[in-house]
Chain A
Amino acid sequence: MTKRIELEKIVIDKGDEIALANRRMIEEAGVLALNLIGSPGCGKTTLLEHTIAALANPADGSPPLRIGVIEGDVQTTLDRDRIRRAGAPAAQIETDGACRLDAAMVSRALTELDLDELDLLVIENVGNLICPTGPKLGEHLKIAVLSTPEGDEKPAKYPAVFALADAAVFTKIDLLPHLTYDLDRAAGDCRKINSRIRVFPLSSVTGDGMDDWTGYLRSARAGLVAEHEAPGRPAS
């Protein structure tokens, strides 16, 4: 006698469990984690170099924030070295061909960083606007990064990452005079796709728009700390 049995459905993302463990570990150290997703060359590492400097020496006298970075690239440690030169601890993941990071890779890289010495952890995903969209790494915030030379129709054409992101950073706005790029269209499409998304147009080169971005990071980090310290907070 044989019989057919239907088993329970299975969510396929082995990374989810590891991602949750990563996040718990990161959170216990009071660290806010970001997952930065954008095409090759859109300016992710440059944005980080300038964010590190801006948060280390806030112009408005607010307390400094310490950033640690996990760099994801197909190969080389070039970006890790740039971040170290910018004064922040950094670890490199070389994916050896893989088009995106996963939670297990991040878990291994985390052993190279001392979370107790950090306030923010930024994971710069492999340069790619599509593939890294799905896997959770253990981050609190997913940040889509898009540079103005890529074109203002990119949110409409590659909507998934914008649908799932907490914020979108539009980099290289200093180049706008040289481009036919409609910032309102790009931002408008982002908000159509995701009404809750925060949009930050900025230039790492001129510093335009950087204050709003660093302010966002500061308040997100403060929110996390407050949530953790609030006694008897309701389980959500």
Chain B
Amino acid sequence: MHELSVAADICRAVAEHAAGRPVERLTIEVGALSCVNPEALDFALDEVAEAEGVSLGQWTIEPVPARARCACGHEYEAENLVEPCPACSGFDREYVAGDTVLVRQLIVVERNDEAD
């Protein structure tokens, strides 16, 4: 269950970036090659946020498939990694996305009246 430690990293990073401002919403992208399970992460976020007293607002977890860039120039979402490029049927490609977990969107609320 490495999702627990990923959830802890997310809580820590969000708290750091929010710097005391209430978090309103959060969109988390989970790349298919990261071997993090979105459902397990959702469950782990509940647990960790509560245990650490961090408020994450409303969160959404979006699974992101691996993205391949083929030598033919075509870029596509690779669902099945043993299937060839749909444009040229070749396998000479690079994975350009889908190997990370990231907080794509983090919206916090700032009170202007307390700023001065």
Q: Which residues, 77 to 95 on B, are CB-close (under 8 Å) to A?
A: 81-82, 84, 91-93, 95
Q: How far is the CA of A195 from the CA of B1 in the complex (A)?
A: 31
The contact of B101 among A2, A13, A189, by CB within 8 Å, is A13
Q: Are A134 and B82 in contact (CB under 8 A)?
A: no
CB proximity of B42 to chain A, nearest CB, Å: 14
Q: How far is the CA of A193 from the CA of B82 in the complex (A)?
A: 5
Nearest B residue to A7 via CB reads B106
Q: Is the CB of B107 within 8 A of A4?
A: yes
Asked if A12 contacts B99 (CB within 8 A), the reply is no
Jot down 12 A-B pairs with beta carbons below 8 A, ordered by A: A3-B112, A4-B24, A4-B108, A5-B21, A7-B107, A10-B102, A12-B10, A12-B13, A12-B101, A130-B35, A131-B2, A134-B33
Given contacts A1-B111, A4-B110, 19 further A-B contacts (CB under 8 A): A2-B110, A4-B24, A5-B109, A6-B107, A9-B105, A10-B14, A10-B103, A10-B106, A12-B9, A12-B13, A13-B100, A131-B2, A134-B34, A134-B35, A156-B82, A163-B33, A191-B91, A195-B91, A195-B93
Chain A residues packing against B (C-beta within 8 Å): 1-14, 98-100, 102, 130-131, 133-134, 155-156, 159-160, 162-164, 189, 191-193, 195
